[in-house]
Amino acid sequence: MPALVELGHDVKAMTRRPEAYDGPGEPVFGDVADAGSLADPRDGVDVAVYLVHALDDDDFERKDAEAARTFGLAAAASGVRQIVYLGGLGKDSTELSPHLRSRREVESLLGESQVPVTVLRAAIVVGAGGISWEMTRKLVKNLPAMVVPKWAATLTQPIALEDVVRYLAGVVGNDAAFGRVLEVGGADQLTYIGMLQQAAEQMHGRTIPILKVPVGTPLLSSWWIRLVTGVDTTTAGNLIESMGTEVVQTEHAIRDLVPGEPLTYAEAVRLALEESDA
């Protein structure tokens, strides 16, 4: 949001609790589950950035689909020229988890009303307050050693929040990005174990013992994460199911539209820790 304001855009922040919003831009009430509430927030808007998900709900696939369809219709009715959506990486040829499958469905549903959609597909976003990063940070903070299931050896490509914001701001209103699916990622591809170890090095000045075992269901892992990090079991379980799928960039067209090199994972961790301590 600050990045868009700095670029000179007039920004509305749609939220169900505008009275509690203290960020940049104009807070306006809107609920993607209520079509009647979306007329005023969309009034006069050229570009809508859609960052909605319901991972904390057992029925998130249905709710996310309904919300995307409702939002797309409202955007079309209000004359919105572009919708920008942050989706998830993962090859379409692989068997996607319910979480990633839902992200793909949302991409499609947002565009059903013929508003051009720009999709940025990302893996884990590393930034203070983000669920995936907070899970990582609290695991490393609270555990002197770990036993992790086999999904922890899956390859991923985390991206700094700063880079996500830079890419989002770079495609907003950019005609060359209309109707395109673009993959974004940080400078490093590494396993979840590698992510934990690099975070430990920055937080503790050393790596920690991590033992990988060939067992561990998403349900069991979600309860373990709930105990250690405080992240609710539904959200944790939905995320963990996706961690068995390799999520890395397979193309880099985004760099032609938004020049600049992405941060390394170590740099992203440092910035996230600084923000958490601020």
Residue 243 is predicted with a pLDDT of 84
**Owning domain of residue 38:** 31-277
pTM of the model: 0.92
- Structural domain count, the chain: 1
Predicted pLDDT at 207: 94
Contact 42, 81 (CB under 8 A): no
pLDDT at 7: 85
The pLDDT of residue 208: 94
Cα angle 24, 26, 29 (rounded to 5 degrees) comes to 125
Per-residue confidence (pLDDT) for residue 274, from 0 to 100: 94
Residues 6+ apart with CB under 8 A from 213: 147, 148, 149, 150
**Which pLDDT belongs to residue 71?**
94
Least Cα distance to 203 among 250, 147, 139 occurs for 139
Tell me the CATH number at 110: 3.40.50.720
Q: Is residue 101 part of a domain?
A: yes
pLDDT reported for residue 214: 77
105 falls within a domain? yes
Tell me the per-residue pLDDT of 32-50, one tens digit each, with 9 for 90 and over.
988 889 877 667 899 999 9
Residue 3 lies in a domain: no
In-domain check, residue 229: yes
For residue 17, is it within any domain?
Answer: no
Task: Say if 245 falls within a structural domain.
Answer: yes
Within a domain: residue 209? yes
> Which residues, given as ranges, of the chain have pLDDT below 70?
41-42, 93-94, 215-219, 278
- C-beta of residue 30 within 8 angstroms of C-beta of residue 44: no
Structural domain includes residue 23: no
Residue 103 CB coordination number (10 Å): 23
